[in-house]
Amino acid sequence: MLNGSLINSKLPQVGTTIFTIMSKLASEHNAINLSQGFPDYSCSQELVELIHKKMLAGNNQYAPMQGLLSLREAISKKMGLVYEKKYDAETEITITAGATQAIFTAISTIVSPGDEVIIFEPAYDCYAPAIELFGGKVVPVTLQFPNYTINWQEVASLINTKTRAIIINNPNNPSSSVFTKKDLLQLENIVRNTDIVIISDEVYEHLIFDGAEHQSIANFKGLAERSFVVFSFGKTYHATGWKIGYCIAPKELMNEFRKIHQFNVFCVNNPIQQALAEYVEKAEEYLSLPNFFQEKRDFFVDKLIGSRFTIYPSRGTYFQLLGYEKISNENDVVFAERLIKEFKIASIPLSVFYNKKEDNKVLRFCFAKKNETLLRAAEILKSI
Ligand SMILES: Cc1ncc(COP(=O)(O)O)c(C=O)c1O
């Protein structure tokens, strides 16, 4: 007999993520799944074969705790090529089990009970629970609908002695907006002369469209010196199932990050790291991504012309937002569920990314799909 409950939940408000719920519902109803952010086409066969080769060559035991040095060196080189700051492979780069673990570990490294952390909503869903788990208080700032821009004056007004960190996500999931240079300069200005740490989620660094340039934290000295910057190989190489990414930060921050990293994962997949150490050198692979995804976005949007959905601009990521205010008054979760059950198409309702469940009648559709999938999806959406 137990003397009461074994569980005193640390996250009483948290249920199963919307991504799991919508993907499950999509599969139960045999619906086209544009909900979760992953491709339905295969990743590079050359990369798969390279990993296989590395496995056959016997690279099947633990990798070093910080990640393979050759991979960290390749990342350091890439950072110098693509951005203005080259990070030290030895002390400033750690390979992680996806961006999710990097973000969780960065939050755990800096957030203590009572600390406040500013996030921007709609927000990717892994930030708030991690902040709360370590006793922090989430301070949300709402991106201004419909362009999802930031009111930096509001951000400045929320800064106080308890503000420990600001989490940004650029290009932004789910809003598909991107930060301008002016945004980053405003942020740099706001945190100057404070001890605020930035966690910058840049998993969609290469998914940016219409000729815009990704404004990485790494390009802003006053931000880079206080930031954990997080990337995902899963997003860059169309292989979300591998769950491998990396975090970069100045030595002092990275040193503390690694103290926690070594006890929550120790190290990540060795043969994949071995293969990526070579594959990251192929700049054309990631430099071709803006065009590759812009073509998909344009294909999907073009096929939607004439539909009753409002098409919002998608400036980055592989998501397209569609408004259904001309079609229904229903709450967005109810409407998204109805789309799956009645029309066999799955999306993500945007209200789930807000603490207060703000409902602008907007759904998020992932266009990292084969053109035939996008065509079938667009035909369904046009019929609604
Ligand atoms: C904004 C954002 N951050 C982080 C992640 C997680 O990346 P990973 O799969 O590498 O953990 C995702 C995945 O969808 C994402 O959209």
3-class SS of residue 190: helix
Name the residue at shortest CA distance from atom 16 of ligand 1. 173
Would you say the CB of residue 67 lies under 6 angstroms from ligand 1?
Answer: no
Would you say the CB of residue 140 lies under 6 angstroms from ligand 1?
Answer: no
For residues 93 and 95, what is the distance between their CA atoms, to the nearest angstrom? 7
Ligand 1 pocket, mutate which of 23, 127, 173 (most atoms under 8 A from CB)? 173
| Per-residue model confidence (pLDDT) at position 280 | 98
Other CB atoms closer than 10 Å to residue 92's CB: what's the count? 23
Would you say the CB of residue 173 lies under 6 angstroms from ligand 1?
Answer: yes
Would you say the CB of residue 37 lies under 6 angstroms from ligand 1?
Answer: yes
CA 293 vs. chain centroid, Å, equals: 16
| Per-residue model confidence (pLDDT) at position 72 | 98
The predicted model gives 317-322 an average pLDDT of: 98
Would you say the CB of residue 169 lies under 6 angstroms from ligand 1?
Answer: yes
Q: pLDDT category, 86, cuts 50, 70, 90?
A: confident
What pairs with residue 322 in β-bridges?
311, 363
Q: pLDDT category, 273, cuts 50, 70, 90?
A: very high
Would you say the CB of residue 39 lies under 6 angstroms from ligand 1?
Answer: no
What radius of gyration do the chain's Cα atoms show? Answer: 21
Distance (Å) from CA 366 to ligand 1 centroid: 13
3-class SS of residue 39: coil
| CA-closest candidate to residue 244, choices 236, 254, 256, 255 | 236
| Per-residue model confidence (pLDDT) at position 14 | 85
The predicted model gives 131-148 an average pLDDT of: 97
| CA-closest candidate to residue 257, choices 92, 129, 81 | 92
What is the token pair recorded at 170?
């650029």
Distance (Å) from CA 203 to ligand 1 centroid: 6
Task: Look at residue 288 and tell me whether its pLDDT is greater than 90.
Answer: yes
Task: Look at residue 1 and tell me whether its pLDDT is greater than 90.
Answer: no
Environment class of residue 215 by beta-carbon count within 10 Å: exposed (0-12), middle (13-18) or buried (19+)? buried
Task: Look at residue 314 and tell me whether its pLDDT is greater than 90.
Answer: yes
Sign of CA dihedral 108, 111, 113, 118: negative
Spell out the domains of the chain, with CATH numbers in brackets.
18-43+287-382 (3.90.1150.10), 45-282 (3.40.640.10)
3-class SS of residue 62: coil
Would you say the CB of residue 170 lies under 6 angstroms from ligand 1?
Answer: no
> Tokens 């969609």 map to which residue?
204
> Tokens 């812009």 map to which residue?
294
Q: pLDDT category, 98, cuts 50, 70, 90?
A: very high
The predicted model gives 206-223 an average pLDDT of: 97
| CA-closest candidate to residue 289, choices 67, 81, 96, 44 | 44
| Per-residue model confidence (pLDDT) at position 13 | 84
What pairs with residue 327 in β-bridges?
none
Task: Look at residue 366 and tell me whether its pLDDT is greater than 90.
Answer: yes
| CA-closest candidate to residue 105, choices 77, 79, 127 | 127
Would you say the CB of residue 98 lies under 6 angstroms from ligand 1?
Answer: yes
For residues 302 and 309, what is the distance between their CA atoms, to the nearest angstrom? 13
Task: Look at residue 69 and tell me whether its pLDDT is greater than 90.
Answer: yes
Report pTM. Answer: 0.97
Distance (Å) from CA 327 to ligand 1 centroid: 31
Q: Which atom of ligand 1 is nearest to the CA of 100?
A: 11
For residues 22 and 32, what is the distance between their CA atoms, to the nearest angstrom? 11
| CA-closest candidate to residue 228, choices 77, 148, 352, 110 | 110
Task: Look at residue 77 and tell me whether its pLDDT is greater than 90.
Answer: yes
Would you say the CB of residue 316 lies under 6 angstroms from ligand 1?
Answer: no
Q: Which atom of ligand 1 is nearest to the CA of 232?
A: 10
Q: What's the whole-number average pLDDT of the chain? A: 97
Q: pLDDT category, 70, cuts 50, 70, 90?
A: very high
Q: What is the pLDDT of residues 253-269, one digit of tens each?
A: 999 999 999 999 999 99
Distance (Å) from CA 152 to ligand 1 centroid: 25
Name the residue at shortest CA distance from atom 1 of ligand 1. 173
Ligand 1 pocket, mutate which of 22, 35, 100, 148 (most atoms under 8 A from CB)? 100
Q: pLDDT category, 4, cuts 50, 70, 90?
A: confident
| Per-residue model confidence (pLDDT) at position 321 | 98
Q: pLDDT category, 200, cuts 50, 70, 90?
A: very high
Would you say the CB of residue 352 lies under 6 angstroms from ligand 1?
Answer: no
Would strands 197-201 and 227-232 be described as parallel, antiparallel, or unpaired?
parallel
Confirm if 342 and 13 have CB atoms less than 8 A apart.
no
| Per-residue model confidence (pLDDT) at position 15 | 82
The predicted model gives 50-58 an average pLDDT of: 98
Distance (Å) from CA 307 to ligand 1 centroid: 30
Would you say the CB of residue 347 lies under 6 angstroms from ligand 1?
Answer: no
Percent of the chain predicted with pLDDT > 70: 100
Question: How far is residue 182 from each of residues 152, 261, 359, measured CA to CA in Å?
Answer: 10, 34, 28
For residues 257 and 244, what is the distance between their CA atoms, to the nearest angstrom? 17
Distance (Å) from CA 4 to ligand 1 centroid: 37
Would you say the CB of residue 203 lies under 6 angstroms from ligand 1?
Answer: yes
Would you say the CB of residue 300 lies under 6 angstroms from ligand 1?
Answer: no
| Residues found in the chain | 384
3-class SS of residue 195: coil
Task: Look at residue 310 and tell me whether its pLDDT is greater than 90.
Answer: yes
Percent of the chain predicted with pLDDT > 90: 93
Q: pLDDT category, 53, cuts 50, 70, 90?
A: very high
